[in-house]
Each structure stands twice: as C-alpha cells, then as structure tokens.
Amino acid sequence: MAEQAKSSAAPVLSTGDCPLSNAPFTPGDAHTPASGSDSATVSQAEAEAAIRTLIRWAGDDPEREGLRDTPARVARSYRELFAGYAADPHDYLARTFSEVGGYDELVLLREIPVISFCEHHMLPVVGMAHVGYLPTNRVVGISKLARVVQGFARRLQIQEKLTAEIAGAIDRILEPKGVGVVIEAEHSCMTLRGVNTPGSRLMTSCLTGVIRDDARTRTEFLRLAMNK
C-alpha cells in the first residue's frame, strides 16, 4: 500500500486532515475477487509445509517445542482471516424490507470494524468503515451492511478496491438513490515496516448517485459519517 500511495502522490494523512475523494464511480466497475475455488487444490498439509518453510527461512527451527504446532495454528487462522473468499457478500443483501413507513432519508451505519490484508505484503489493514445509502422503497437489515463489509474485507486487496466493491454491491442489489462508503484504516505495511509511520491512517471514499452528485446530500452524508 505504501508503494501505491507514493506513486499516486496521495499523502497518507491523519484521520482529521485527510481529504475525501469524490471521484465518480460507476456501479459494476468494482471487480469481485475470485471465489477462492483454487484453494481446494491446496491441502492442509501443504499449507502447513509452506509455513514450516517460512519459519526456516526466517531463521528458526519449526521442530522446536514452541513452534511445533505453529504451522497448523497459522493455517487455521488464515482460513478464518481469509473467509471472504468462501462468501459472496451480495447474498447478504438478498432479503430486503419494503415497509419503511415512507422513510426516505439517509440510512448510515458507522464504525463497522474492518480487518483486511494488504495484497502487496500480506500484512493486516485494520480500521473502520462508515456505510450509508439513500433508499428508494426498500431497506436491508443493518447487520447485513456489516456482513457485506466483512465479506469483502477478509481478502487480499488494496483499500481503494475494498471501498469500491462495498459501494458497488449495495448499489447494484438495493438500487438506492445513492450510496456512500468511507473507510479509514491503518496499514501495517507502513506502520510496522518500510517508512515506519505508526498512527498514520489511509482514508478512502466511494460515493454514488445523489450522495455523490447532490452537494447538500453529500455534505450530510460526510458529516454524519465522520461524526462532525
């Protein structure tokens, strides 16, 4: 992620100062990662053998007592951390509710935990997402918004792609008047290595429909999302 920020000349600023990008987004542009079917061809034993190789490469002995069970533990933890490959987040939005009593204002869920992994270094990306939409005549259960975020997050990717995919899924399935997604996250590839900048957070946004095009609605969404 650090390399990408550097190449695009986009500064990685503190949460309070980071400007939000309002670049146009066309639903359908976001590409859903492969379902992960190829993982079925890799056995648990092969995964554990690869981890043993990494331990030896790092300079330790995978057969010593403290590391003997580590390959199995790491393989199990990776299965959990990359569970997004086994899910289709679009499915979480399949059930909607039309009895909204005429409600036609913003629906916004703030501070959804995000745990993802940088595809460049396979290091954790940890932060939160703020997701909102302006419904037409139906809404979705609020827990499903969190599940969509988790479903896309538990994969290898860059934050910009994650932001666009969440917005794209909500836009395509719910067909609202507009969608807004803001993610702020700390990238371990920057804070634990490389430029070593603990505390720096990357902010990305993807806005569609009236939330992007109508200045008043956009301002309301960003104010609510950033709690200002």
Q: For the whole model, what pTM was predicted?
A: 0.81
Give the active site residue among 18, 48, 130, 159.
159
For 20, 33, 66, 118, 176, the CA distances from 190, given in Å and listed in that order, are 20, 24, 29, 10, 36
pLDDT per residue rounded down to tens, the chain (228 residues) = 433 333 333 333 333 333 333 444 444 444 444 444 565 688 999 999 999 999 999 999 999 999 999 999 999 999 999 999 999 999 999 998 987 788 889 999 999 999 999 999 999 999 999 999 999 988 999 999 999 999 999 999 999 999 999 999 999 999 999 999 999 999 999 888 888 888 889 999 999 999 999 999 999 999 999 886
- Residues 153-175 pLDDT 10s: 999 999 999 999 999 999 999 99
- What's the CA gap between 194 and 186, in Å, rounded? 14
Tell me, yes or no, if 206 is annotated catalytic. no
Give the active site residue among 150, 189, 206, 220.
189
Tell me, yes or no, if 18 is annotated catalytic. no
Whether 134 contacts 202, CB under 8 Å: no
Give the active site residue among 4, 90, 120, 175.
120
Tell me, yes or no, if 130 is annotated catalytic. no
Tell me, yes or no, if 150 is annotated catalytic. no
